[in-house]
Amino acid sequence: MKTIWRYLKLTGLMMRNCFVRELQFKANFVVRFFTELMWLVMQFIYIGVMYGQTGEIAGWNKWEMIVLMGTNYVIAQLFEALFYDNCVRLTDQIRQGDLDFNLIKPINTQFLVSLRYTDYASVFNSMVGVGVILFALGKMGMAVSFGGAILFGALVLNGVLIYYSILFVLSVWTFWIGRSNNLMELYWQFGQFSRYPGDIYPWFLRKLLWTVIPMLVVSNVPAGLLIHKLEIGGIFYGFALGALFLSFTVWIWKKGLQRYRSASS
């Protein structure tokens, strides 16, 4: 209990530290907000054009698709807020031997390197995503119960952690191959799969995206909960898979550390 409290306090401190840093660049905050807003508008146009051609895509109507888009957006933004920068920094630290400074601190190193920096502009943008979801649900005349909202929040967090697990494993890969750029590109390209309903994919690909590369678990499970397109088993499966992926990161991190050679070159 004492340990958990200590880690929570530390998380709070790191977040506060980043918040203070963020306040020094207020203009950046505004610019980021508007660019993200434009991205969302473009997604709306995209969905609008697609549904201008047909009433249903693989059994999903327009507003259901927007709920999915919004959910995926919230998850992606939260991931970028909490972990993305940290994963990118981690690859540099491993390559250049800067990880030393983190290893000597009296705290779990994976925890430290994963949560050190928070990007507040993305936190803010994720709330815009929540607005999109509520708007689409309102259009369909659907409501969310209090319990449903809590469960949705937990599933969103689960999705964020799955994203984190995948990207973290890719970053840790640097221990073996010595370099790992293209990380950003991979994130974007795999992220494509979670933007759409799993129902559009053929059997084999769908199974793959529900298990080994669980991009569908990330977004389709929480969105499915809101629009009643999810069986109860899906919830349990989602959490179980999230836990499995997260424990894998701990294992691979330890394996990787054994290969760490500290100083550069």
Partner 1 sequence: MSEAVRAKSAFHKYWIILSTRTQEDMAYRANYVFGAIFRFLPLVTMIFLWWAIYDGRKTSGASPLIGGMSYEDMVVYNALMYVARGFSSVPGTMSDISKDVKDGLLNRYLIKPINYLWYQVMYRLAHKLVFWYIALLTFPPIFFLMRRYFTHWPTLWECGAFVVSLFIAFSIGMLFCSMIGMLAFWFLEISGFLFVVMMLEFFMSGQLIPLNILPAYLHQVLFFSPFGYEGYWPCVILMGKVPEDQLLQVLLIGFVWVGIFYGLSRLMWKQGLKRYSAVGG
What is the rounded CA–CA span in Å between residue 157 and residue 229?
19
Instruction: Work out the widest C-alpha separation in the chain, in whole angstroms.
Output: 60
Binding status of residue 190 toward partner 1 by CB under 8 A: yes
* DSSP label of 59: T
Stretch that binds partner 1, among 85-93, 125-133, 198-206, 243-251 (CB under 8 A): 198-206
What b/e sequence results for 25-60 when a residue is b if at least 16 CB atoms lie within 10 Å of its CB, and e otherwise? eeeeeeebeeebeeebeebeeebeeebeeeeebeeb
Binding pattern to partner 1, positions 199-238, x when CB under 8 A?
xxxx--x---------------------------------
Return the ∠ at Cα 51 (arms to 48 and 54), rounded to 5°.
Answer: 160
50-69 positions binding partner 1, by CB under 8 A: 50, 53-58
Q: In this chain, which of 32, 151, 169, 248 binds partner 1, going by CB under 8 A? A: 32
Binding status of residue 163 toward partner 1 by CB under 8 A: no
Q: Which is nearer to partner 1, 42 or 149 (CB)?
A: 42
Binding status of residue 185 toward partner 1 by CB under 8 A: yes
What is the rounded CA–CA span in Å between residue 78 and residue 37?
15
Q: Which is nearer to partner 1, 156 or 183 (CB)?
A: 183
Shortest spacing between CB 208 and partner 1, in angstroms: 11
Shortest spacing between CB 226 and partner 1, in angstroms: 21
Contact between 128 and 36 (Cβ < 8 Å): yes
Binding status of residue 193 toward partner 1 by CB under 8 A: yes
132-161 positions binding partner 1, by CB under 8 A: none
Q: Which is nearer to partner 1, 58 or 127 (CB)?
A: 58
Q: Which is nearer to partner 1, 46 or 251 (CB)?
A: 46
Q: Footprint of partner 1 on this chain (CB under 8 A)? A: 27-28, 31-32, 34-35, 38-39, 42, 45-46, 49-50, 53-58, 181-182, 185-186, 189-190, 192-193, 195-196, 199-202, 205
